[in-house]
């Protein structure tokens, strides 16, 4: 049987434990050519929590998200300096940190560990089954029965199995927008990532589909570290445990979501979450 690495699913027990950092960011700077998009960011992203990146358009949220799994490698002139690493588990050998900016890093392996879901659903022009099976076929050795089991497991985790189980070999592009987005999440988790990055995953969806994705985020956070970029303040307050507020490429404030939205330390943060600008 194919096994996918997952965490303890007792979310209440996890939330009772002190936060453990999975992604460490220190004095991180990034450029597109001569334009500096990010300035001296320092932030800790905890394991098995949902961290929301908020801030007005152009503030650097998506830029940081894409550096976390090296998507900016494909953009000419994009470069970065500072510390951006995945923290190893001391109790789980080898327990070494991974320098995400290391030029010698195998980015294919990195992107298997850190999946990403984009603003607009982007299913492959293949069947529903083949979309989910694409990654496992590339990275794993499985029998047909094991692959069938993994496809079903992933679609169930993404809360879309009941809607598609009778048309697995039908075209993925025939699904609704909300179903396509959940299919993309199933495709991302099928290879067993530790982290799910979500860049405005609900901005193109109707309210019912948005609610389904938010419910899914809540369910998945017991097994994955999730980072979500959103302009929707209500969504950030509903879905996330931690929130980081960005403005003009700088991190203004971060902390527990409840505190950020009720008792922010910075006036700029308070003005933004109250809708005075943005």
CA distance 166 to 68: 36
**Number of domains composing the chain:** 1
Q: What is the DSSP track for 134-184?
A: HHHHHH----HHHHHHHHHHHHHHTT-HHHHTT-TTSBGGGS-HHHHHHHH
In a domain, 50, yes or no: yes
CATH assignment of the domain containing 108: 3.40.50.300
Query: For residue 47, is pLDDT > 80?
Result: yes
Q: State pLDDT tens for residues 157-216.
A: 999 999 999 999 999 999 999 999 999 999 999 999 999 999 999 887 888 888 888 988
In a domain, 12, yes or no: no
The whole-number average pLDDT for the span 12-16 is: 46
Query: For residue 261, is pLDDT > 70?
Result: yes
In a domain, 5, yes or no: no
User: Rounded mean pLDDT of the chain?
Assistant: 89
In a domain, 15, yes or no: no
Q: State pLDDT tens for residues 138-158.
A: 888 889 999 999 999 999 999
The domain containing residue 170 runs over which residues? 22-273
Residue 14 has a pLDDT of 46
In a domain, 186, yes or no: yes
- This prediction has a pTM of 0.86
In a domain, 124, yes or no: yes
Least Cα distance to 158 among 121, 125, 126 occurs for 121
Residue 278 has a pLDDT of 67
CA distance 87 to 98: 7
Query: For residue 40, is pLDDT > 70?
Result: yes
In a domain, 2, yes or no: no
Residues 6+ apart with CB under 8 A from 124: 130, 131, 134, 172
Residue 237 banded pLDDT, cuts 50, 70, 90:
very high
In a domain, 215, yes or no: yes
CA distance 195 to 112: 9
Q: State pLDDT tens for residues 80-123.
A: 999 999 997 644 455 688 999 999 999 999 998 999 999 889 99
Terminal CA-to-CA distance of the chain, rounded, Å?
A: 49
């Amino acid at each position: 049987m194919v096994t996918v690495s997952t965490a303890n699913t007792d979310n209440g027990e996890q939330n009772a434990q002190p936060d453990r950092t999975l992604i460490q960011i220190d004095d991180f700077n990034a450029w597109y050519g001569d334009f500096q998009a990010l300035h001296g960011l320092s932030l800790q992203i905890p394991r098995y929590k949902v961290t929301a990146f908020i801030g007005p358009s152009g503030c650097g949220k998506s830029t940081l998200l894409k550096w976390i799994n090296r998507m900016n490698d494909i953009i000419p002139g994009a470069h970065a300096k500072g510390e951006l690493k995945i923290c190893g588990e001391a109790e789980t050998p080898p327990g070494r940190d991974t320098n995400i900016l290391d030029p010698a890093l195998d980015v294919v392996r990195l992107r298997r560990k850190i999946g990403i879901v984009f603003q607009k659903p982007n299913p492959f022009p293949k069947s529903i089954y083949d979309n989910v099976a694409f990654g496992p076929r590339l990275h794993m050795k499985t029998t047909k029965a094991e692959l069938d089991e993994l496809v079903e497991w992933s679609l169930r985790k993404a809360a879309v199995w009941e809607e598609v189980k009778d048309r697995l070999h039908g075209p993925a592009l025939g699904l609704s927008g909300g179903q396509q987005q959940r299919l993309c999440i199933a495709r991302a988790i099928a290879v067993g990532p530790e982290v799910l990055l979500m860049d405005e995953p609900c901005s193109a969806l109707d309210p019912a589909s948005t609610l389904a994705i938010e419910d899914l985020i809540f369910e998945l956070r017991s097994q994955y570290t999730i980072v979500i970029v959103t302009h929707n303040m209500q969504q950030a307050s509903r879905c996330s445990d931690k929130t980081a507020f960005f403005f003009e490429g700088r991190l203004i404030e971060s902390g527990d979501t409840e505190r950020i939205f009720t008792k922010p330390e910075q006036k700029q943060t308070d003005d933004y979450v109250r809708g005075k600008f943005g």
